[in-house]
Amino acid sequence: MRILYVLNGFDQGGAERGLLELVENGAFDEHELRVLALCRGRGDLANRITERLGQRIQFVTGGDTLTLRACSAGFFSILRTSVAFRPQKLVLSLKQANVIGRSAAMLMPGLTCVAFEHTGEYRARRLQALYAPLLRLLSIRVDEVWADSTETLEKTRRYFLPRRREGHVVPVFVARRERPFKTDYGVGSGIRLAAAGRLVAGKNLAVLIEAVARLREDGVEARLDVYGDGPEKEAMGALLFDRGLEDHVTLHGHRADWVERATTADVFVNLSEVEGFCIVVAEAMLAGLPVVVVDVGGIRDYGDDGVNMLKLSSANAERAHAAILRLMADRSLRERLGRRARADMLRGYDALACRQQVAVALAP
């Protein structure tokens, strides 16, 4: 099958990294794949996927960010590429690529149009009120929906006009046994926490910082390492200064080796209340870290409270504080959760499972 995969660009995000995961693990090996990115994006991810795909990837613009020019040029690039490549499926990942791709697909009625959804709720720093109604209007052209988790598939139904269309769950994470993992579950006199992800308001890093402050008020020597960049980084730095935590919470920025660094932590915490699959939690589990999370998104597919993680009903500093104290006091619980988390990731999300899920979605 000939597949044209369109996405915004290659920032260091979940959906963008997910494509590389699928490609590297052979998900499209039996098909002809072409990738069209509206811009290059920030970081080295574009270089990595170019090394893998070579001439099979095209960048509409070479900029770091998605612009109006890139969007308008992308519309015509999709049309030109479709005429030359004659794809049977057009897969559209992320909001802007879906708006542009669905619009172009209106002119190609014989092409199967696939919306690949990565979050159950559309959010945007700009034009927030526009995306949901626009994508719902254009959804009349969508023939299939792929989603990175069961909850994403269900929650995004409200963004589609009623019509008959197939739905498939295609996780964008592959568990590799050779990746670094935790082996020592002892703690010293304090506790070391880790968090990762894009620094945006919805990730609730401020709530986690408040939980750290409460631990320290209790006399616990708590430290937090945060891996990730984003628009909230400056605000988080100011918050740390105001709370007197700048020596106890470190904002490392984006680190490709964050998992290896985080294996020295005692607990991984994710307090985001809006998630798709949530790759960083899956990576932490694969690394054997005890995890404290809000029960949202794809975490509901692979997380079992008290078995391979501790779940919170909401992003609440008091609840996070209590869960961390519980883990700090119980080494056997830390080890049991961490080892079971790693085993569950290896069993449910290996390369074979990845290829099988994509094969089902691409079956005639």
CATH number, domain of 266, equals: 3.40.50.2000
How far apart, in whole angstroms, are the C-alpha atoms of residue 140 and residue 142? 6
Domain identity same for 343 and 251: yes
- Could you identify the residue written with the tokens 């995000």? 13
The answer to whether the CB of 289 falls within 8 A of the CB of 259 is: no
Report whether pLDDT(27) > 70. yes
Q: Answer yes or no: is 186 within a domain.
A: no
Domain identity same for 159 and 208: no
Domain identity same for 344 and 355: no
Average pLDDT of the residues in 305-330 = 97
Q: Answer yes or no: is 182 within a domain.
A: no
pLDDT at 121: 79
Sheet containing 310-312: give its strands across: 249-253, 222-227, 191-196, 267-270, 291-294, 310-312
Average pLDDT of the residues in 255-266 = 95
For the chain, the domain total comes to 2
Average pLDDT of the residues in 24-45 = 93
Angle, CA of 286, 293 and 314, to the nearest 5°: 165
Domain identity same for 302 and 344: yes
Domain identity same for 163 and 228: no
Domain identity same for 108 and 207: no
Average pLDDT of the residues in 36-59 = 93
Q: What is the per-residue pLDDT across 94-148, written as a single tens digit (0 to 9) for each?
A: 889 999 999 999 999 999 999 999 988 776 556 566 778 999 999 999 999 999 9
Average pLDDT of the residues in 315-339 = 97
Domain identity same for 19 and 123: yes
Q: What is the per-residue pLDDT across 235-244, written as a single tens digit (0 to 9) for each?
A: 999 999 999 9
Domain identity same for 161 and 248: no
The answer to whether the CB of 342 falls within 8 A of the CB of 288 is: yes
Query: Residue 144 sits in which domain range?
Result: 2-174+350-362
How far apart, in whole angstroms, are the C-alpha atoms of residue 205 and residue 215? 15
Domain identity same for 357 and 334: no
